[in-house]
Structure 1
Amino acid sequence: MTGPRGHPAAPPTVWLDSPRRYGRVSRGLHWLMAALFAWQFAGALLYVTIGDAALTRLVGGSHFTLGFTLFVLVLVRGFWGLANLHRRPAHPGAPGRAVAAGHGLIYLLMVLVPSLALLRQYGSGKPFAPYGIPVMPARETKIEWMMLPADLLHYWLGFTLLIVVLGHAAMAFLHRRLWNETVLTRMT
C-alpha cells in the first residue's frame, strides 16, 4: 500500500478508535476499569454480606484510594472517548439511542458515585492522601451538608452502578447470541 508520491503509507494506528473497533487506549482503559470496579464491588459486597472481617478489610481496605483512581480514570476515559467520538463504531437508529443512553447512565454513575464520596470526605474534615498525594488537608470542623448527600446516596448509587454494569455486560453477550452482532469483539 502506498501513499502520495509512491511512499509507503503509514500503517493504520491501533491506538485510536476506528469504525470497526475500539483502539488500544480505549480497550485498555475499559478493561483496567472493569478489573478495578470488580475489586471495588467485591469489597462492598463482602462488607454487606459478612461485615467487618479480615477478608473485608483486605479487599475493601483500598476502597477510598481505588475510588479516587477510578474517578481520575473515568475522567481520562471520558475525554479520550470525546476525542475519538467521530472514529468510534456507529450505533444507528433506536438501538443506537438505547446504547447511548446506557453508556450515558454508566458514565453518569461512574462520575457521581465517587464525586459524592469525595464531597463527604472533604466535609468530614479528615485528610485524604491517595498514594501519599495530599488531596484534602485535615480540618477541625465538619461540614454536615457536604456529608449528607453521600451518606444518603453513595451506597445505593454504587449498587445501582453494579446492576447497570452487569446489564451492560449481559447486553454484550445477548448481542452475540440473539442478533449475531460482534459488539464484544470491538472491545476485546
Structure 2
Amino acid sequence: MKKIALLASICMPLLGASAVSVADSQQHAAGMATKQAECPAFLQQNYRKLHSEQTIDLCQATAGKTVLIVNTASNCGFTPQFKSLEAVHKKYQDQGLVVIGFPADNFFQEEDEEKDTAEVCFVNYGVTFTMLQTTSVRGDDANPVFKHLADKTTAPKWNFYKYLVSDNGKKIQHFNSRVKPDDKKFVDALESALKS
C-alpha cells in the first residue's frame, strides 16, 4: 500500500503538470492563430535574409509595429540612401519602427550575386536593419508584399521607393525615390504613423 501511495504521490503531480502543459500549449496555439489572423495577409510571408540561410516571418517581425518597406539596389544613384535609412532605423526602432529592405533587379542596378549585394549593404553602408533575399518588386512576378503595395498605392517606378505601413497594415503611404528618408515630409509622416 505504501508503494502505491508513493507512486501516486509521484505520478499525480506529473500528470497534473502534463495536463497544464497541454493547456498552455493549446492557449499558445490559439494566441498564435489570433496573431496570425490579426496580421495583414500581405505580410503572412516568410523570406530568406540576404546572403543567409536564415528566414524571417514577416508577421512576427512586424506585429504591432509601423513598417517601412523599401526596394533597394546596389548600383543606383539613390543607393547612398542606405545611410539615411540606417539612421532612421536606429532612431525609431525603439519607438516601434521596423525597416525592411527588398533588393531587386527590376531596374538592372542590382548585383548578380547576393554576396556582392550583402557587401554593399552591410560593409559599405553599415546596414543593420533587415535586408531580404533579392526578389522582384514589380510586374507579374512581383512578390506578394509588393503586389499588395502596388494595388493599394503604386508599384515602384525606380529603386528606393518607400512604403510606410501602419501598425495594423491598413494605412499605406508611398514616397518615391527622390524623397530621402531624412526629408521633413517623410519624417513627419513617419512620426505621425508611430504616434497613431
* TM-score, L = length of structure 2: 0.23
Ranked by relative contact order (alpha carbons within 8 Å, sequence separation 6 or more), the top structure is: 2
Structure 1 or 2: larger helix share? Answer: 1
Q: Under a length normalisation based on structure 1, what TM-score does the superposition of the two structures give? A: 0.24
